[in-house]
Structure 1
Amino acid sequence: MYDSSLRDPDKLATGAMFAQARLSTVFSGRSSHADVLRSDGPLVLRKSNPKGAEPLTHRRTDIARVALAAGTAGPLGGDAYALDVRVGQGSTLLLQEVSAMLVLPGVGGEQSRMTITVNVEAGATFVWWAEPIIAAHRCHHLHDVRINLAADARLVLREEMLLGRHGEEPGDFSSRLRITRDNRALYDQRLSFGPATRGWDGAAVLSGNRAVGSVIVVNPDWSDTPPPAQPYDLSAVCAPLAGPGVAISAVAPDSLALRGLLHDGLNTLGAPWAI
């Protein structure tokens, strides 16, 4: 859960904004629906319709679809946002985003924060089809995502980061994605780039590319035979996790190329993951 003490004015920069949103789904026996949908300020949650091709849930009408939209620009330096998601037992949730998140600097250079916690319960499925996060010049941002899966839960998650807007250098951006399954670590990835991080744009890391991302797929049916490691492009790979899942990772010169590489990786898994 998000630390509610961040509402303390002493812990927020002058003029900074705190926003918290909560989303929960249940399975009624025939279909899934959102039973909790609460948001305030910059974080806006709304029931939605399909936005295009989806892995696993494409064309299904019995699932809960929710869109996350930005009510204001940002987050700006000093802002603290929190999103809490519960995918109830046996239910299926597709969380999509209306547009990319543009992370902007604050007046005094303070750090902005986005904290996301997700619990996917027994027999549930969570598809998070996120849009890119853009680290604008001079931003200072921490993006922290924690996902806990039940042993028989399924997950498909897309994450994409863009290093600045067109023609500008990025700000300082740090992210952590930690996924546990049955309370055991399955995936823990940390990424930092920007002026404060030495060597992030060198040949051993991004090699001048301005877009980086991944798709994580967790499928309990792969417990005995997970897909093998497969470098399907010079700058993309599909690699098994220490459990029933794979991580598809890629770097690219721009957002469009990155999206194509990630989707190519999904397509190597075949149905129902391909899009």
Structure 2
Amino acid sequence: MPTRIEVVADPVRDRCVLTTDHLSPRQLPGPPGVVRIALVAAGALLLAGDQVRIEVVVSGPVRVEIVETAGTVAYGMRGGSARWDVDIRLTDGASLRWYGEPFVVSADAAVMRSTVVRMENGCTAELRESLVLGRHGEVGGALQTMTRAWIGDELTLAEDLDLSPDARDGWAVMHTARCLDTVTSLGFRLPEEAQTMQLEGCGSIARRLVHEHHESDLQQVR
């Protein structure tokens, strides 16, 4: 059973159905038209054999903001591996903002992480993903990421990254950086700047390569 956040806009009171698995979603107070959801770990994460799946389904003209209460650490897995999969579906003018806390891949961890977004025209999404390779003083483990995003029938974003130790050291990948911090917008564009890539479809990717997570300024992209 996945962790699931399902929100349907309603003129009287937005309807919200939350399902707990590895993570426990909990509704927070929010202003009218905004549903705020906190994600709280329901147990130790992330360990060998864990298969975390998070589903977010939003329908109607409502803004959903997901708040992570803490970062996630993928611990050493002694030859094992884990998955972290996110599936997002937005319809009928829905809006999502999810600024994730750091996702730390410790030494000897092996993680596959995927994000899939399907949204109708007129919807918007703003997602921050902060990947940190290793705890302080460590050489982080292996991380494979896959991102796909559709706006309507158009595949707007397709990206696969191999962030295993041998692959990421090249100057065109991570070089000496330890943290890859990314904000992706879909359904609207981020402001033009040197480190922001405008997608062919309606969206943008702003990215920072830094040694420490706090050195990134992506919380200020707009």
Q: Using structure 1 for the length normalisation, give the TM-score.
A: 0.75
Q: Do structure 1's residue 77 and structure 2's residue 48 form an aligned pair?
A: yes
Q: How does 1:1-275 map to 2 (within 5 A)?
A: 20-29=2-11, 32-34=14-16, 36-40=17-21, 42-49=22-29, 60-107=31-78, 109-195=79-165, 197-198=166-167, 200-219=168-187, 228=192, 230-231=193-194, 237-258=195-216, 260=217, 262-264=218-220, 266=221, 274=222
Give the counterpart letter for 2:61 in structure 1. G
Give the counterpart letter for 2:82 in structure 1. S
Give the counterpart letter for 1:263 in structure 2. Q
C-alpha separation between the residues in 2 aligned to 1:227 and 1:155?
15
C-alpha separation between the residues in 2 aligned to 1:207 and 1:160?
17
C-alpha separation between the residues in 1 aligned to 2:181 and 2:55?
22
Moved over 3 A (4+): 30-33
Deviations 1:105-129 (A, max 9, x none): 334x122011111101121101112
C-alpha separation between the residues in 2 aligned to 1:249 and 1:132?
14
SS at match of 2:66: strand
More strand as a share of residues: 2
The 1:75–1:183 alpha-carbon spacing in structure 2 relative to 1, beyond 3 Å, is farther
Give the counterpart letter for 2:64 in structure 1. L
Per-residue deviation, 1:33: 4.3
Contact 1:30 1:62 in 2 (8 A): no
C-alpha separation between the residues in 2 aligned to 1:204 and 1:149?
31
Contact 1:119 1:147 in 2 (8 A): yes
Q: Which has the larger radius of gyration?
A: 1
Contact 1:89 1:123 in 2 (8 A): yes
Give the counterpart letter for 1:120 in structure 2. L
Contact 1:73 1:102 in 2 (8 A): no
In the other structure, the counterpart of 1:269 is: none
Give the counterpart letter for 1:256 in structure 2. H
C-alpha separation between the residues in 2 aligned to 1:171 and 1:105?
8
Per-residue deviation, 1:69: 1.4
Q: Using structure 2 for the length normalisation, give the TM-score.
A: 0.92
C-alpha separation between the residues in 2 aligned to 1:227 and 1:212?
20
C-alpha separation between the residues in 2 aligned to 1:240 and 1:30?
38
Which sections of structure 1, spanning at least 5 residues, go unmatched? 1-18, 51-59, 232-236, 267-273
The 1:31–1:177 alpha-carbon spacing in structure 2 relative to 1, beyond 3 Å, is farther
